[in-house]
Structure 1
Amino acid sequence: MENKLPTKKNKWLVLITIPAQMGITIFLFSFLGEWLDNNYPNDWVYYHKVLLIIGVFLAMYNTIRLVNQVNKQ
Protein backbone atom coordinates (compact mmCIF):
# COMPACT_ATOMS: atom_id res chain seq x y z
CA MET A 1 0.00 0.00 0.00
CA GLU A 2 1.02 3.57 -0.55
CA ASN A 3 2.10 5.63 2.38
CA LYS A 4 -0.31 8.62 2.37
CA LEU A 5 1.45 10.48 5.18
CA PRO A 6 4.00 13.03 3.94
CA THR A 7 7.52 12.69 5.15
CA LYS A 8 9.15 15.44 7.18
CA LYS A 9 10.89 16.68 4.02
CA ASN A 10 7.57 17.03 2.17
CA LYS A 11 6.05 18.99 5.06
CA TRP A 12 8.91 21.47 4.90
CA LEU A 13 8.49 21.87 1.16
CA VAL A 14 4.81 22.66 1.64
CA LEU A 15 5.53 25.14 4.42
CA ILE A 16 8.35 26.85 2.50
CA THR A 17 6.02 27.70 -0.39
CA ILE A 18 3.54 29.58 1.83
CA PRO A 19 5.31 32.99 1.70
CA ALA A 20 5.52 32.83 -2.10
CA GLN A 21 1.85 31.92 -2.39
CA MET A 22 0.86 34.76 -0.07
CA GLY A 23 3.05 37.25 -1.90
CA ILE A 24 1.75 36.28 -5.33
CA THR A 25 -1.88 36.40 -4.22
CA ILE A 26 -1.55 39.81 -2.58
CA PHE A 27 0.45 41.20 -5.51
CA LEU A 28 -2.08 40.04 -8.10
CA PHE A 29 -5.03 41.53 -6.22
CA SER A 30 -3.11 44.78 -5.70
CA PHE A 31 -2.15 44.92 -9.38
CA LEU A 32 -5.74 44.30 -10.43
CA GLY A 33 -6.94 47.05 -8.09
CA GLU A 34 -4.42 49.53 -9.48
CA TRP A 35 -5.44 48.63 -13.01
CA LEU A 36 -9.11 49.12 -12.20
CA ASP A 37 -8.41 52.47 -10.51
CA ASN A 38 -6.48 53.69 -13.54
CA ASN A 39 -8.93 52.48 -16.18
CA TYR A 40 -12.24 53.01 -14.35
CA PRO A 41 -11.79 56.00 -12.04
CA ASN A 42 -14.44 56.48 -9.42
CA ASP A 43 -14.74 59.09 -6.68
CA TRP A 44 -16.28 56.93 -3.98
CA VAL A 45 -14.80 53.46 -4.60
CA TYR A 46 -11.09 52.76 -4.35
CA TYR A 47 -10.63 49.45 -6.11
CA HIS A 48 -7.00 49.14 -5.06
CA LYS A 49 -7.74 49.29 -1.34
CA VAL A 50 -10.76 46.99 -1.55
CA LEU A 51 -9.02 44.35 -3.66
CA LEU A 52 -5.86 44.56 -1.55
CA ILE A 53 -7.84 43.75 1.60
CA ILE A 54 -9.62 40.89 -0.20
CA GLY A 55 -6.24 39.57 -1.38
CA VAL A 56 -4.82 39.66 2.15
CA PHE A 57 -7.83 37.79 3.55
CA LEU A 58 -7.65 35.18 0.79
CA ALA A 59 -3.93 34.70 1.38
CA MET A 60 -4.50 34.29 5.12
CA TYR A 61 -7.36 31.86 4.54
CA ASN A 62 -5.24 29.79 2.18
CA THR A 63 -2.34 29.77 4.66
CA ILE A 64 -4.52 28.68 7.57
CA ARG A 65 -6.18 25.99 5.45
CA LEU A 66 -2.82 24.67 4.25
CA VAL A 67 -1.26 24.60 7.74
CA ASN A 68 -4.29 22.79 9.16
CA GLN A 69 -4.11 20.25 6.36
CA VAL A 70 -0.40 19.62 7.03
CA ASN A 71 -1.06 19.27 10.78
CA LYS A 72 -3.81 16.68 10.20
CA GLN A 73 -1.41 14.51 8.25
Structure 2
Amino acid sequence: MDNNSKKDQKPKKQLSNYARFSGIAIQMFAIIGVGTFSGVKLDEKFPNENNLYTIFMSLTSVIFAIIFVIRRIIAASKNN
Protein backbone atom coordinates (compact mmCIF):
# COMPACT_ATOMS: atom_id res chain seq x y z
CA MET A 1 0.00 0.00 0.00
CA ASP A 2 2.75 2.40 0.86
CA ASN A 3 4.34 1.94 -2.54
CA ASN A 4 1.08 2.80 -4.36
CA SER A 5 0.63 6.02 -2.42
CA LYS A 6 4.11 7.16 -3.49
CA LYS A 7 3.25 6.46 -7.12
CA ASP A 8 0.04 8.48 -6.79
CA GLN A 9 1.90 11.41 -5.20
CA LYS A 10 4.35 11.85 -8.09
CA PRO A 11 1.78 12.51 -10.88
CA LYS A 12 -0.17 14.85 -8.59
CA LYS A 13 3.00 16.78 -7.78
CA GLN A 14 3.91 17.04 -11.47
CA LEU A 15 0.42 18.21 -12.32
CA SER A 16 0.62 20.76 -9.53
CA ASN A 17 3.92 22.06 -10.90
CA TYR A 18 2.48 22.32 -14.42
CA ALA A 19 -0.51 24.24 -13.11
CA ARG A 20 1.67 26.55 -11.04
CA PHE A 21 4.05 27.39 -13.87
CA SER A 22 1.32 27.77 -16.48
CA GLY A 23 -0.37 30.20 -14.08
CA ILE A 24 2.89 32.13 -13.80
CA ALA A 25 3.12 32.32 -17.60
CA ILE A 26 -0.44 33.63 -17.87
CA GLN A 27 0.28 36.27 -15.23
CA MET A 28 3.46 37.24 -17.05
CA PHE A 29 1.56 37.74 -20.31
CA ALA A 30 -1.10 39.73 -18.46
CA ILE A 31 1.50 42.07 -16.92
CA ILE A 32 3.11 42.68 -20.31
CA GLY A 33 -0.28 43.12 -21.99
CA VAL A 34 -1.54 45.66 -19.46
CA GLY A 35 1.72 47.61 -19.64
CA THR A 36 1.71 47.72 -23.42
CA PHE A 37 -1.97 48.62 -23.57
CA SER A 38 -1.35 51.47 -21.11
CA GLY A 39 1.49 52.75 -23.27
CA VAL A 40 -0.66 52.69 -26.39
CA LYS A 41 -3.45 54.58 -24.64
CA LEU A 42 -0.96 57.16 -23.32
CA ASP A 43 0.41 57.63 -26.84
CA GLU A 44 -3.12 58.16 -28.13
CA LYS A 45 -3.79 60.77 -25.45
CA PHE A 46 -0.37 62.47 -25.65
CA PRO A 47 0.88 61.94 -29.22
CA ASN A 48 4.59 62.06 -30.01
CA GLU A 49 6.76 61.08 -32.98
CA ASN A 50 8.27 57.84 -31.69
CA ASN A 51 5.49 56.38 -29.51
CA LEU A 52 7.74 56.76 -26.49
CA TYR A 53 5.05 55.87 -23.97
CA THR A 54 4.40 52.53 -25.66
CA ILE A 55 8.11 51.71 -25.81
CA PHE A 56 8.73 52.74 -22.20
CA MET A 57 5.66 50.99 -20.78
CA SER A 58 6.35 47.82 -22.77
CA LEU A 59 9.95 47.58 -21.59
CA THR A 60 8.99 48.41 -18.02
CA SER A 61 6.26 45.77 -17.97
CA VAL A 62 8.66 43.15 -19.40
CA ILE A 63 11.15 43.93 -16.63
CA PHE A 64 8.42 43.68 -13.98
CA ALA A 65 7.19 40.39 -15.46
CA ILE A 66 10.69 38.91 -15.40
CA ILE A 67 11.19 40.00 -11.79
CA PHE A 68 7.79 38.50 -10.92
CA VAL A 69 8.67 35.16 -12.54
CA ILE A 70 12.06 34.99 -10.85
CA ARG A 71 10.52 35.67 -7.44
CA ARG A 72 7.82 33.04 -7.95
CA ILE A 73 10.34 30.42 -9.08
CA ILE A 74 12.60 31.14 -6.08
CA ALA A 75 9.60 30.88 -3.73
CA ALA A 76 8.52 27.61 -5.35
CA SER A 77 11.99 26.14 -5.01
CA LYS A 78 12.13 27.10 -1.32
CA ASN A 79 8.81 25.35 -0.70
CA ASN A 80 10.08 22.13 -2.22
Q: TM-score range by the shorter chain?
A: 0.7 to 0.9
Gaps of 5+ in 2: 1-11
Of 54, 68, 71, the residue aligned with 2:74 is 68
Q: Decide which structure has the larger Cα Rg and report it.
A: 2
Residue deviations 1:26-53 (CA, integer Å, cap 9, x gap): 0000000000001112357710000000
SS in structure 2 of the partner of residue 17 of structure 1:
helix
Root-mean-square deviation (Å):
1.9
- Structure 2 length as normaliser, TM-score? 0.73
User: Which residue number corresponds to residue 14 of structure 1?
Assistant: 20
Q: Indicate the structure with greater helix content.
A: 2
Number of equivalences: 67
Percent of aligned pairs sharing the same letter: 25
Gaps of 5+ in 1: 1-6
| Structure with bigger RCO (C-alpha 8 Å, 6+ apart) | 1
